[in-house]
Structure 1
Amino acid sequence: MATAELLSNIYNNNIHKAISEQSYTENIEALYKALDGVDINTKFDPEKHIIFKKEDVEKTKRFTMKEFGLENEKQISAIGASAPFPLFSKEAVDIMRAEILRKDVFLQFARISPTSSSGLDGSVRGFARESCPFTYEAWKHPKSIEAVSSMAGVPLKIVMDYEVAHTNVAMKNPDDAEQETIAHNRELINKGEFFGKEQMIPSIVGWHYDSYPFVAVLMLSDTKKMIGGETIIKLGNGKVVSVEGPQLGYCTVLQGRLVEHIAPKPLGYTERLTAVSSYVAADPLKHEESVLHTVKPEVLFGSRYTDFYTEWIDYRMKLIEERAKYLREKVLNDQQNGKLFEKEKIMKFVEDLENYVGRTWKEMVVSDEEYAKAK
């Protein structure tokens, strides 16, 4: 059960897990100062800052759910995942980095990850609309959404503003990163594989499904010295396959609600920032089964209690409104056109609507096991 202290922490947005000013000064400030010449007041220009082109869809490998052995009646697209594709320019990425790495933004919105052993790994959530206008406009622009939708194989929309550019931050001491690289290369040399096969690397997060149908993962760091960092996916036959990780400014999409995967732990990096935006189908009538397993404030320190749940209810009620409006208009139009009332179909539609309302509140329930992990 939840203690009074635990509930107080959750209601107060887990500020006890905020990044300290000292930690910011020692680990983050240098990254921000390296962007000294970047103007964060630059207005987002899709013609300049979006580098995705329509032909990239054909050039980029996209893995189908069938190829993964994961075809499912609940899938909203035949596409399971994409290889990395270009999305935002270097200038756009620099501005995004400068926005999020500002001291006032980082100290307000960043939280240490529940799985961080170093105290240097964390996430920054729910900041874009309020504090980072360039980042917000970049992800919300129709051309950006069109690019992600094209790769996903289905028209999408961002699930809610809170899930715009959720940013995962991983930091490592430069000496440790160098020693990791040396040790890894020595191992490959000893095996005669230095120029050879891709290696399996331990993961940051265990096997999991995402909370929302689709995610787009954008790399905000230079990956030239990183070893690993790909996404590893579990196939329907129990085997695994890896999808190459993106380089700076590149993005991958994943139907993560139905594709079980892990985020591998790369080697040789000193900082790794990835921005993740989450999507649902643009068509309100398509299957929608988002959950809160990985994002509810009681289990993820970065989700602010009132802000997050308010947006969750808003997006769910909007979808219910859209579906109810469709049903009402269909019934009236059928009558006006002399069609017979389709009782069984209408009953099934209303039943599904009822179940959707039920899932909305049931996802907000916090189990004793979840409370036990919230420290």
Structure 2
Amino acid sequence: MTAGVQTLYPKPLKSNGLVESYKDYCPTHIIPEKTINNEINSMIKLIESKPGFNKNLKFDPLKHIIFNDEYYKSTKTFTLDDLEIEKTHIKPLNNFGATFPFKLLSEEAIDMLIWEALTTIDTNGRLPNLATNATRLDFHIGCNFKKSKFTNDLAKSEILSNIVSNFVGYKLKPVWESDLVHINCSLATNDPIELNKFPKDQNEIEKILKLQDACDGQDIPSTLGVHYDSISIPLVIMLDLPNEAQGGQTTILTGKNTVTRVPDPPRGSGTLIQGRVLRHLASKPVTNHNRISFVISYATGVDGELDNCVTTSLKPSVLPKNEFNKFYKDWTEYKFLKLESHLKKIREQIVDDYEQGKGFDQELFVEKCLKIEKYFHGIYEEMECVENKPYPPPYFNTPYNEL
């Protein structure tokens, strides 16, 4: 048996925060019929009733991406310095931290993305395993959007990749298919009994928000609790968060262990965050309103460069929306292609140096080999047959200055 593997596919423990039915695509986490029949079907019918709605709409970047180059100047951004973050658990890509919302998608594109997502609920939708105070109305949609052509084409758009790269100041490209698109949904309830659980007036709403802003984020209701992303940079596009909703922003933990909310993202707006180095969460509205966010994942697009992605919060035993066989096929293909490209670049550089009469730098070569060894180990070290450590890992809850 492979060294380091104690037992083949040990059963993850629910008490450790893991999903026991991960190899069967988490049937324990399917979306309840009540949610599908009440809220989801109502939303699908509403979109289909809109004049001119076309189920076969083709993605047109010139029509559906409404970004203006002026937004690079007018959009407020945070650096890691601005957030008073001096220590991080991994080396950042650069000093980029996050952006405020910027206009990105047209209304037609928003409707199409929501419609394609909600009509794939049976195969792509799962209740969360990572949420704080989750209900039947909180769920993820993801894993496989091959048949959702509009969504797939938009997520792979080179124009979007260029926008993200320009904001971050680093060349970026979309990641493997299973995590190319991730949709977080917290829907408003149609149930009158459930409505009674929401605050009744503005004073109560403001009191709740004030308490949330003063805490360390652990108790803020969210579809994704306090975490680090497992991919380098997510582009978070808000598909639905009504103007009258309160709460529901992406919330970042600062170096002072307080929270900073990325303010009021309008429908179709995008925000960016260096998710691998910033602790953050996707908070739910404190009012009874929809919050649907559409996330496209990016990592380095530099030729021959190794990425810093991990499976910590993405592997099937942690994130139910990822189907076991597909996820690991996508993951290993992506990682091996990165490794192949990196090895090719190193080999070509060594040959080129020799032909130019340069000496062989043994110490530098060993340093590169050690980096490759660490990267290769990272491809499998978090797999379920190797480890089933409790989730979340301790560093998710560790203040930056204690890292």
Match of 1:281 in 2: 300
**What is the identity, as a one-letter code, of the residue corresponding to 1:161?**
E
- TM-score when normalising by structure 1: 0.88
Distance 2:169 2:84 in 1: 18
- Shift in Å, 1:148: 1.7
Q: Superposed, which structure 2 residues align to 1:30-109 within 5 Å? A: 30-36=42-48, 37=50, 38-71=53-86, 74-102=91-119, 105-109=120-124
Shift in Å at residue 151 of structure 1? 1.9
Aligned to 1:260: 279
CA contact (8 A) 1:13 1:305 kept: yes
Does structure 2 conserve the Cα–Cα contact (< 8 Å) formed by 1:70 and 1:235? yes
**For residue 162 of structure 1, what is the amino acid of its counterpart?**
S
Q: Is 2:126 aligned against 1:111?
A: yes
Q: 1:272 and 1:242 mapped to 2: Cα distance?
A: 15
Question: Within 2, Cα distance between the matches of 1:265 and 1:96?
Answer: 20
Task: Determine the C-alpha separation between the residues in 2 that align with 1:3 and 1:363.
Answer: 13
> What's the C-alpha RMSD, in Å, of the aligned pairs?
2.8
Against the structure 1 CA distance between its residues 328 and 64, is the aligned structure 2 distance closer, same or farther, given a 3 Å change threshold? same
Superposed, 1:170-319 pairs within 5 Å as: 170-174=186-190, 175=192, 180=198, 182-183=200-201, 185-187=202-204, 200=213, 202-204=220-222, 205-284=224-303, 286=305, 288-319=307-338
Partner of 1:361: 380
Q: How much identity, in percent, do the aligned residues show?
A: 28
CA contact (8 A) 2:237 2:270 kept: yes
The 8 Å contact of residues 80 and 97 in structure 2, kept in 1 or not, is answered as yes
- Residue of 319, 322, 325 corresponding to 2:341: 322
SS at match of 2:178: helix
Amino acid at match of 2:187: M
Residue 150 of structure 2 corresponds to residue 141 of structure 1: no
| Structure 1, unpaired ranges of 5+ | none
The residue number in structure 2 matching 1:123 is 140
SS in 2 for 1:295: coil
Shift of 1:322: 0.8
Match of 1:10 in 2: 22
Cα 1:349/1:99, change in 2 over 3 Å: same
Write the distance in 2 (CA, Å) between the matches of 1:134 and 1:209: 29
Give, in whole Å, the separation in 1 of the partners of 2:85 and 2:304.
Answer: 22
Does the residue aligned with 2:91 lie in a helix, a strand or coil? coil
> Residue by residue, what CA displacement relative to the aligned partner does 1:195-231 show, whole Å, maximum 9, x if unpaired?
xx89739331432111111111111114212101222
**Which deviations, in whole Å up to 9, do the C-alpha atoms of 1:317-373 show, x marking residues without a partner?**
0110111000000000011111111111111111101110011110223315359xx
The question of whether the paired residues in 1 share the 8 Å contact of 2:199 and 2:205 is answered with no
The residue type equivalent to 2:143 in the other structure is G
Higher helix fraction: Structure 1 or Structure 2? 1
Kindly indicate whether the alpha-carbon contact (under 8 Å) linking 1:96 and 1:135 is maintained by their aligned counterparts in 2. yes
Contact kept in structure 2, 1:210 and 1:256, CA below 8 Å: yes
Name the SS for the 1:26 alignment partner: helix
Contact 1:125 1:163 in 2 (8 A): yes
Contact residue 299 and residue 308 of structure 2 kept, 8 A: no
Cα distance in 2 for partners of 1:369, 1:107 equals: 29
Distance in 2, Cα, partners of 1:273 & 1:169: 5
Q: Kindly indicate whether the alpha-carbon contact (under 8 Å) linking 1:222 and 1:248 is maintained by their aligned counterparts in 2.
A: yes
In the alignment, the residues of structure 2 paired with residue 266 and residue 296 of structure 1 have an alpha-carbon distance, to the nearest angstrom, of 27
- TM-score norm. by structure 2 comes to 0.82
Asked if structure 2 preserves the Cα contact closer than 8 Å seen for 1:75 and 1:258, the reply is yes
